Structure 1
Amino acid sequence: MSVAVVLFTADLRLHDHPPLHAAVASADEVVPLFVRDPAVDRAGFAAPNRLAFLADCLTDLDAGLRERGGRLVVRHGDTVTEVCAVARETGAGEVHVAAGHSAFARAREDRLRRALAADGRQLRVHDAVTSVVPPGDVTPQGSDHFAVFTPYHRRWSGVPLRAPLPAPRTVRVPPGLRSDEPPARASVAGVSPAVATGGEREGRGRLRAWISQDLDAYEDRHDDLAGDATSRLSPYLHFGAVSATEAVHLARTRGGPGADAFVRQLCWRDFHQQVLAARPRAAVEDYRPRNDRWRRGAEAEEDLRAWCEGRTGYPVVDAALRQLAHEGWMHNRGRLLTASFLSKTLYLDWREGARHFSGLLVDGDVANNQLNWQWVAGTGTDSRPHRVLNPVLQGRRYDPDGAYVRRWVPELAALPGASVHEPWKLKGADRAAYDYPDPMVDLSEGLARFRRARGRN
């Protein structure tokens, strides 16, 4: 009997899964394989919140496969070594995998291709599994990638998409194949209190409910901090528990301004992936250097600690950072505000902020985390690299009644309305009644310092 291996990576689902679909169609038996590789930890990709969500995803994937007569095979060790071992044990002639776009994923893919070829086996790499449009499929004249989002979005929007694939009805796995126990969320220490439940079943339920109930209002409400009107699908997209391609199809079928705005956000994911695929050093180096001399020393380190802990003295910034610590997720408007405050108002290296986010975000994707940070810091693809977001004005605009701040900064809960955004304006005993720090920096001073540093005076 012919056997094929499907290596699951950042595509932990059964629906719309091209590698699994191809393997089931071409082989009598299929080995659905996930390798827990210590190299992921050493590369800094493992964090408690993501490990907990990953455990949920693997448990759900195994359950879905068992419903179809199969099971998930889990191994621990070097991915290439374990995949080759499973292929030898089963006599598999092909290994199917989704194309990866980070330097880490591409290096792993190259090693795996060489090792399998040495054994007389073939690696089949499938595009458009973790992205809608694969990096390199659309490029501007004279360059290997788009450096500006708007022209990329125009080209991306015109690309014909493949139709979403159904989940297989049956998956036959070779009998007797050894498998380690899938990791369990309960075994992961240091998980934030309110990390969402992972898995395809949960993700697809959220996607369909949100498309039918909330998508229409997305264009008007996506920046509403207190309203929490975004899809919250980013963790499921990061782990591939939800297909971005299927999400685009569902949104476009629904249609309207909300769908257009949502699809535009999915395009941003692909935009950042194609930038990182072309410029892998952008994960750690400025994409467009500004000759920044970021603040260093004891005072800068104390400012960074205060920012991480959500005690900057600016309520909307602190609220967003506390949401991150509690949920492993942050509203997109909050991400913009906190990143601008760190990199421009405090003039601290964007890499420090990206590292803090990566340690907590369930959706801590290298391309989107690092390149969004660079976009805000002005070292990335933003066409207005020196813009600075004012947290007071932004708080009044996107949290006009202060409900978001009061939710996450309970020490200010008694302050009414928009006054919660400027507690330092209280006087005497009124101010003393609130155990909340004064602003760590005057906004005008922070702006002047940033402009001097960038030569914008």
Structure 2
Amino acid sequence: MSEHETAQGTPAVALFTADLRLHDNPVLHAAGRGGAAVVPLFVVDEAIARAGFAVPNRAAFLADCLADLDAGLRQRGGRLVVRRGDVAEEVGEVVAETGARQVHIAAGVSGYATRREDRLRKALAGTGCELVVHEAVITAAPPGAVTPAGRDHFAVFTPYFRRWSAESQRKVLDAPRRVRVPEEVRSAEPPSAADLTGPGGGTPSPGLPRGGETVGRKLAGTWWRTGLQDYADRHDDLPGDATSRLSPYLHFGCLSATELVHRARTAGGAGAEAFVRQLAWRDFHHQVLAARPDAAHRNYRTRHDRWRAAPEEVAAWREGRTGYPIVDAAMRQLQHEGWMHNRGRLLVASFLTKTLYVDWRTGAEHFLSLLVDGDIPNNQLNWQWVAGTGTDTRPNRVLNPLLQASRFDPDGDYVRRWVPELADLEGAAVHQPWKLSGPDRARFDYPDPIVTLAEGHARFTRARGLDG
């Protein structure tokens, strides 16, 4: 028996990525199978910061997640091993230090994730250590598991959802009772948000939620009892804020999509069905990007758009000063919380791409700079869906912000919450303050619309060749 071997065999490495949890984690479960020693490893990859993806909101949330993961492992006799540097190099060093024969990792679909996996394989080649990639860790269904005949992915959600719903899912795994970590493995302390962003990294949004599996499971439990059954009727209710708010915890893997699907199906009812459908949308986007990785930055379906360069209008959109209160309210919620209601996301994306006729990539980049749940598959492909260059079967639909406001914020409560300069306006009048005149209009430090809806619609129809 070598110096690294134990009675249960050589240790294995569980490389945490977007699966920062102990419950239902196939990576950790497989690495510690049979009571073997395991190295629960997280590498702070400096390449992410250099690429601009380690923005303050996600960095702060990630720091919470890692601290919580470390605490959970310590409660089970283990600890989180933290390294900083190049992922492949750091994993190689851990393998050399411990004599590990396997490195377990969750499969990912982003360009970064696939490149990381390739580099790990090359780094481990010839070492006697196997890279084991686990599917259905980040998503409920593996990206390539649900495909139509003769094609590598579904391009339309509804047939995908039918097939996805008929697929059996893996069993939900319990959290480990004990985790044994080799004592000799060196580790840094779990990083702070500043450690993750580096000097001059910026300040997180003031209303940012706390990260971590503990918080995520508590939030899920509360919402399960109080919000799930009404979800089908209320998920678009902007002032009611009746969504689960679980997306950041799913993005970082603090919660398992597989476990949530199982729990929802067990609960049953229209609300549970609607919630499962949203989880399927998340899987749908992952399988699209897995098959078409260039869709992260290029049109999935080109409309031959010649997008406008409108820096002043884009700045007004980013700052929540477009003159359309429902749009501005959603953009200000994003600034304050690092999160936005899903209906708000649809509204502001439609306004940017189809009323202002600005490239969807401009909006996607801004979202990724703030969203705590911002990830490449869902962010980029949702933006393309709204812009009409993605998988939407009605690519030229335009969401009218006034009609949307009357439907999803009929009394104006959402607007008054996020646009305080309009808080004194009563009822639905808050959605069209430009209709006020004289002293009433002068009371509000709020801009007129940067474009009329008629002008925006005419410009869009001309650009798409829809004006006949």
The reply on whether 1:371 has 2:381 as its aligned counterpart is yes
List per-residue Cα deviations over 1:39-86 (Å, max 9, x = no partner). 112333211100000000000000000000000000000000000100
Q: Distance in 1 between matches of 2:36 and 2:464?
A: 62
C-alpha contact (below 8 Å) 1:350/1:373 kept by paired residues: yes
The reply on whether 1:342 has 2:352 as its aligned counterpart is yes
Q: Distance in 2 between matches of 1:352 and 1:147?
A: 24
Q: Distance in 1 between matches of 2:191 and 2:208?
A: 16
Aligned-partner residue type, residue 271 of structure 1: F
Q: Distance in 1 between matches of 2:280 and 2:298?
A: 23
List per-residue Cα deviations over 1:346-390 (Å, max 9, x = no partner). 000000000000000000010000000000000000000000001
Structure 1 partner of 2:395:
385
Select the residue among 15, 21, 41 that pairs with 1:13. Answer: 21
Q: Distance in 2 between matches of 1:253 and 1:411?
A: 45
Structure 2 partner of 1:111:
119
Structure 1 partner of 2:40:
32
Number of corresponding residues: 454
Structure 1 partner of 2:3:
none
Q: Distance in 1 between matches of 2:170 and 2:223?
A: 23
Counting only pairs closer than 5 Å after superposition, residues 75-224 of structure 1 correspond to structure 2 as 75-185=83-193, 189-224=202-237
The reply on whether 1:67 has 2:75 as its aligned counterpart is yes
Q: Distance in 2 between matches of 1:82 and 1:62?
A: 19
The 3-state SS of whatever aligns with 2:15 is: strand
Instruction: For residue 114 of structure 1, report the CA deviation from its aligned partner.
Output: 2.1
The reply on whether 1:231 has 2:244 as its aligned counterpart is yes
Select the residue among 336, 355, 379 that pairs with 1:326. Answer: 336
Structure 1 partner of 2:285:
272
Aligned-partner residue type, residue 408 of structure 2: Y
Q: Distance in 2 between matches of 1:113 and 1:277?
A: 19
Aligned-partner residue type, residue 121 of structure 2: R
Q: Distance in 2 between matches of 1:206 and 1:160?
A: 27
The 3-state SS of whatever aligns with 2:94 is: helix
Q: Distance in 2 between matches of 1:368 and 1:122?
A: 31
Structure 2 partner of 1:317:
327
Structure 2 partner of 1:306:
316
Q: Distance in 2 between matches of 1:430 and 1:43?
A: 48
List per-residue Cα deviations over 1:286-344 (Å, max 9, x = no partner). 00000000002xxx011100100000000000000000000000000000000000000
The 3-state SS of whatever aligns with 1:31 is: strand
TM-score, reference length from structure 1: 0.98
Q: Distance in 1 between matches of 2:374 and 2:444?
A: 34
C-alpha contact (below 8 Å) 1:4/1:27 kept by paired residues: no
C-alpha contact (below 8 Å) 2:385/2:391 kept by paired residues: yes
Aligned-partner residue type, residue 227 of structure 2: D
C-alpha contact (below 8 Å) 1:31/1:173 kept by paired residues: yes
Instruction: For residue 26 of structure 1, report the CA deviation from its aligned partner.
Output: 4.5
Aligned-partner residue type, residue 209 of structure 1: T
C-alpha contact (below 8 Å) 2:138/2:257 kept by paired residues: yes
Q: Distance in 2 between matches of 1:42 and 1:132?
A: 31
Structure 1 partner of 2:405:
395
C-alpha contact (below 8 Å) 2:56/2:193 kept by paired residues: no
Instruction: For residue 169 of structure 1, report the CA deviation from its aligned partner.
Output: 0.2
List per-residue Cα deviations over 1:132-165 (Å, max 9, x = no partner). 0011101111210000000000000001011210
Q: Distance in 2 between matches of 1:350 and 1:173?
A: 46
C-alpha contact (below 8 Å) 1:135/1:274 kept by paired residues: yes
Structure 1 partner of 2:258:
245
Q: Distance in 1 between matches of 2:366 and 2:203?
A: 14
List per-residue Cα deviations over 1:271-292 (Å, max 9, x = no partner). 0000000000000000000000
C-alpha contact (below 8 Å) 1:3/1:27 kept by paired residues: no
Instruction: For residue 417 of structure 1, report the CA deviation from its aligned partner.
Output: 0.6
Instruction: For residue 103 of structure 1, report the CA deviation from its aligned partner.
Output: 1.6
The reply on whether 1:260 has 2:260 as its aligned counterpart is no
The 3-state SS of whatever aligns with 1:290 is: coil
C-alpha contact (below 8 Å) 1:218/1:259 kept by paired residues: yes
Q: Distance in 1 between matches of 2:327 and 2:428?
A: 15
Higher mean Cα deviation, 348-357 or 94-103? 94-103
TM-score, reference length from structure 2: 0.96
Instruction: For residue 116 of structure 1, report the CA deviation from its aligned partner.
Output: 1.0
Instruction: For residue 24 of structure 1, report the CA deviation from its aligned partner.
Output: 1.1
The 3-state SS of whatever aligns with 1:95 is: strand
The 3-state SS of whatever aligns with 1:118 is: coil
Change (3 A) 1:27 1:93: farther
The 3-state SS of whatever aligns with 2:12 is: strand
Structure 2: where are the runs of 5+ without partners? 1-5
